[in-house]
């Protein structure tokens, strides 16, 4: 009978001490941290990071010699051989020794982490390791399967979210309605394996309303900051930093301030501060005229608030080019002799083919996107090939990847040029490109453990040893919980957000049907309600202030509700005189029939009043209803998950009488323990992901792999450890399949490290048990706090 995992209270290893040793191998700088002999012994079992010995029988790679025979890049193994040959030449030229082949276990764990962002489950590892086919054949098949999986899409989303600064609640939540569809847009394009040049071109040319084109999130991410957006675009897609040139000629590169503004002039006509009223300018002219008329002035003074309230319906939901209105000029303090301050700027590219256009006569945004994504662009292809090489090997052929200059030289220029050609030949299919890199001889060798200094050349004799990203660590913990970590889920925004977007879309499209005079006339009628409530509102607010000073909370709550009700009543005028007629017109346009009677205004509940932005009921309009497929797809995904849970129960031999309890637990797991890419981007402050270095998405590639005390505290206090050791988790179920307690050590190592323990490690564990460390969770806790677990070897 296998001993069940003991509760957390019985753990004997103080996690702070264990983490301290795991990171530094010594606690000389922390005299307060003294380990018991048993804890020291257990720690010594797993704290060092030895190179895992290569299994020559299974991991030996075929000998190669340089060959100049051309190959078709559509065949990844042949394309990988070309890269192998180039590397052999580079190694010989630089007189370096190549790393030994990685063991099968090391390779397997690495390729899972690198391609789908998590460790393999025990079942996945056994299926691969027990496969007796030739090494290159089964490795190639595994690479292709992983690249085609949902896990790869989720992992690559984290990669791009860090680069593109993708936030689920962008701009402090102001762009929520735009940013969430943008998140799903990026995931969708990754799943579809959209060619990289098409992906970038789509982002750069994105215009319209979010419900028609969620890619506008790229520009909405830098709401109202077109110059900053251009600087980010250059850094992300051209690997060139030009932000300094926004204020002055770059002292470290040849980029001038004039060139910065010429580049920015391509996309400057794009307006992101859309308020929801297409005729806003004309309405404002009418407002200014009305303010000068004695009989209209009292009402007109409320039109600003009314316009703002109308904007609340659909604020920040549209990107549109306004070349007549938005013309870029040089700053007032421009100091150079080639132009004068405040001169209007004509777009002009700063490198490669010279492209220029007049935004008032041609589509400058498309011209810019065409130029930037062209195969002839001198840096576009180089940057993506270099970024993906760095993703695979831990270091780019060009470093930093986003600070290229004319003087920049790759570590291996011949290889860099070859990778650029390969990317072009593959028509920017990044998945096919990665399939080649993961098949290379260098990738399949043992990791290099040396820590490179800035500017030090690396010759790619194997991948660099590196710590997992925050997302990889989190997703590997999720794997210890889930026997099937990449659970089927419906793709796309959730029903609640979809409903909000449809609601906003209906109002926006309806308001677009009103001309300026109709909006003005309706707003003037709505102003009467604001005028009538002005004095009453002032009295209520004075009373609220007095109650606040007296700290009379019950009275404050009562007055707050009254103030909100008064505001709701005031807004009813906008509803009746502007929005309802607009929605009625939209109905007629869509159906060709007269609109039905308006839905009467419903008095909101107390709870609704306490929440800002109540949605009112408007007549249904065909085309603006929640797609019933969303609910069906959710139900289908839930049914598929339940089927997987039942299959798990059968596979692990769970008593059928326990199936209901098992499925209920697994449903909870599916809801509470999701992969990093399925959570908000980024996770909230204080979350495990943020503590372990997930980017805040405020700056490009702002993630960190540095160790910190906070991480030790998370591991001590997080509910993750408690969860992974429970009965119905992957780890718990694996342990339950063992017949003898001593077999649990093998299972723990295989589940966490994808390998069996060495003889030395087993002996150390036996000694530790004799001193009281005799529970499986003691070993589990030790292993997950070590470099062995959190490093990609």
pLDDT tens sequence across 431-481: 999 999 999 999 999 999 988 888 889 999 999 999 999 999 999 999 999
Residue 32 has pLDDT above 80, yes or no: no
Which residues touch 477 (CB under 8 Å, ≥6 apart)? Answer: 720, 724, 784
Residue 312 has pLDDT above 80, yes or no: no
Strand, helix or coil for residue 453: coil
Least confident of 460-474, 488-502, 607-621: 607-621
Entry pTM: 0.87
Residue 304 has pLDDT above 50, yes or no: yes
* Range among 111-120, 242-251, 601-610 rated most confident: 111-120
Averaged pLDDT, 282-287? 88
**pLDDT at residue 94, as a whole number:** 96
Residue 77 has pLDDT above 60, yes or no: yes
The structure tokens listed for 69 are 């025979």
pLDDT, the chain, mean: 87
Which residues touch 548 (CB under 8 Å, ≥6 apart)? Answer: 556
- Residues 673 and 478: their CA atoms lie apart, in Å, by 6
**pLDDT at residue 71, as a whole number:** 55
- Alpha-carbon distance values, 336 to 256, 259, 264, 533, 560 (Å): 10, 12, 18, 56, 57
Model confidence at 527, pLDDT cuts 50, 70, 90, reads: confident
Residue 46 has pLDDT above 60, yes or no: no
The percentage of residues in the chain with a pLDDT greater than 70, rounded to a whole number, is: 89
Model confidence at 11, pLDDT cuts 50, 70, 90, reads: very low
Model confidence at 557, pLDDT cuts 50, 70, 90, reads: confident
**pLDDT at residue 70, as a whole number:** 52
Residue 629 has pLDDT above 90, yes or no: no
User: 720-734, pLDDT tens digit by residue?
Assistant: 888 999 999 999 999
Q: Which residues pair with 344 in a beta bridge?
A: 329
Residue 30 has pLDDT above 50, yes or no: no
- Residues 369 and 675: their CA atoms lie apart, in Å, by 33
User: 684-711, pLDDT tens digit by residue?
Assistant: 998 999 999 999 999 999 999 988 888 8
**pLDDT at residue 143, as a whole number:** 97
Residue 50 has pLDDT above 70, yes or no: no
User: 188-240, pLDDT tens digit by residue?
Assistant: 999 999 999 999 999 999 999 998 999 999 999 998 999 999 999 999 999 99
- Alpha-carbon distance values, 401 to 71, 201, 377, 437 (Å): 28, 20, 17, 18
Q: Is the dihedral of CA 129, 132, 135, 136 positive or negative?
A: negative
**pLDDT at residue 712, as a whole number:** 81
* Range among 2-16, 300-314, 414-428 rated most confident: 414-428
**pLDDT at residue 314, as a whole number:** 75
Averaged pLDDT, 485-496? 92
Strand, helix or coil for residue 92: helix
């Amino acid at each position: 009978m296998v001993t069940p995992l003991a509760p957390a209270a019985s753990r004997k290893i103080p996690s702070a001490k264990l983490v301290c040793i795991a990171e530094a191998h010594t606690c000389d700088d922390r005299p307060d941290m003294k380990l018991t002999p048993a804890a020291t012994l257990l720690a010594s079992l797993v704290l060092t990071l030895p190179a895992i010995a290569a299994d020559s029988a299974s991991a030996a790679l075929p000998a190669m010699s340089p060959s100049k025979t051309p190959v078709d890049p559509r065949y990844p193994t042949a394309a990988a051989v070309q890269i192998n040959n180039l590397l052999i030449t580079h190694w010989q030229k630089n007189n370096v020794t190549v790393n030994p082949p990685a063991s099968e276990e090391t390779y397997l764990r690495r390729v899972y982490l690198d391609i789908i962002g998590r460790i393999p489950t025990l079942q996945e590892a056994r299926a691969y390791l027990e496969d007796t086919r030739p090494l290159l054949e089964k490795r190639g098949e595994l690479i292709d399967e992983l690249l085609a999986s949902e896990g790869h899409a989720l992992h690559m989303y984290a990669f791009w979210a860090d680069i593109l600064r993708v936030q689920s609640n962008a701009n402090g939540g102001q762009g929520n309605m735009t940013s969430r569809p943008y998140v799903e847009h990026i995931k969708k394009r990754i799943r579809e394996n959209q060619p990289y040049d098409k992906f970038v071109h789509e982002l750069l040319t994105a215009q319209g309303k979010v419900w028609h084109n969620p890619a506008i999130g790229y520009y909405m991410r830098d709401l109202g900051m077109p110059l900053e957006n251009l600087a980010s675009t250059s850094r992300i897609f051209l690997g060139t930093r030009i932000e300094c040139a926004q204020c002055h000629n770059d002292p470290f590169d040849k980029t001038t301030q004039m060139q910065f503004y010429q580049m920015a002039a391509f996309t400057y006509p794009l307006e992101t501060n859309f308020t929801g009223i297409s005729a806003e300018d004309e309405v404002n002219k009418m407002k200014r005229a009305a303010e000068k008329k004695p009989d209209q002035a009292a009402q007109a003074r409320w039109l600003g608030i009314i316009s703002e309230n109308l904007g609340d319906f659909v604020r920040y939901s549209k990107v549109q080019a306004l070349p007549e209105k938005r013309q870029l000029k040089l700053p007032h303090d421009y100091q150079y002799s080639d132009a004068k301050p405040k001169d209007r700027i004509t777009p002009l590219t700063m490198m490669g083919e010279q492209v220029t256009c007049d935004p008032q006569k041609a589509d400058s945004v498309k011209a810019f996107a065409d130029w930037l994504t062209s195969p002839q662009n001198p840096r576009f292809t180089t940057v993506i090939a270099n970024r993906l090489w760095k993703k695979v090997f831990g270091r780019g052929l060009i470093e930093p990847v986003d600070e290229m200059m004319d003087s920049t030289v790759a570590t291996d220029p011949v290889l860099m040029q070859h990778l650029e050609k390969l990317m072009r030949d593959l028509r920017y299919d990044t998945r096919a490109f990665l399939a080649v890199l993961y098949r290379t001889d260098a990738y399949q060798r043992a990791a290099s453990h040396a820590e490179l200094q800035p500017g030090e050349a690396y010759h790619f004799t194997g991948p660099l040893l590196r710590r997992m990203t925050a997302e990889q660590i989190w997703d590997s913990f999720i794997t210890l919980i889930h026997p099937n970590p990449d659970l089927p889920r419906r793709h796309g925004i959730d029903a609640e957000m979809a409903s909000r977007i449809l609601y906003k879309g209906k109002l926006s499209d309806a308001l677009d049907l009103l001309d300026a005079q109709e909006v003005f006339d309706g707003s003037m009628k709505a102003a009467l309600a604001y005028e009538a409530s002005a004095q009453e509102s002032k009295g209520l607010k004075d009373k609220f202030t007095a109650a606040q000073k007296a700290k009379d909370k019950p009275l404050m709550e009562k007055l707050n509700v009254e103030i909100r009700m008064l505001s709701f009543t005031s807004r009813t005028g906008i509803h009746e005189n502007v929005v309802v007629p607009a929605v009625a017109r939209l109905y007629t346009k869509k159906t060709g029939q007269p609109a039905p009677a308006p839905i009467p205004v419903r008095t909101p509940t107390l709870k609704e009043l306490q929440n800002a932005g109540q949605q009112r009921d408007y007549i249904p309009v065909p085309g603006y209803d929640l797609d019933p497929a969303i609910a069906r797809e959710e139900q289908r995904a839930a049914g598929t998950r339940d089927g997987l849970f039942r299959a798990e129960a059968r596979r692990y031999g769970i008593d059928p009488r326990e199936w209901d309890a098992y499925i209920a637990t697994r449903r909870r797991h599916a809801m509470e323990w999701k992969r990093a890419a399925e959570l908000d981007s980024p996770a909230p402050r204080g979350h495990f992901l943020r503590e372990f270095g997930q980017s805040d998405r405020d700056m490009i590639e702002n993630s960190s792999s540095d160790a910190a005390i906070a991480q030790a505290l998370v591991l001590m206090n997080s509910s993750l450890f408690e969860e992974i050791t429970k009965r119905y988790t992957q780890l718990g179920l694996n342990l339950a399949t063992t017949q003898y307690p001593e077999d649990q050590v093998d299972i723990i190592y295989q589940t966490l490290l994808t390998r069996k323990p060495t003889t030395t490690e087993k002996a150390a564990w036996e000694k530790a048990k004799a001193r009281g460390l005799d529970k499986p969770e003691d070993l589990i806790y030790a292993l997950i706090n070590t470099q062995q677990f959190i490093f990609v070897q």
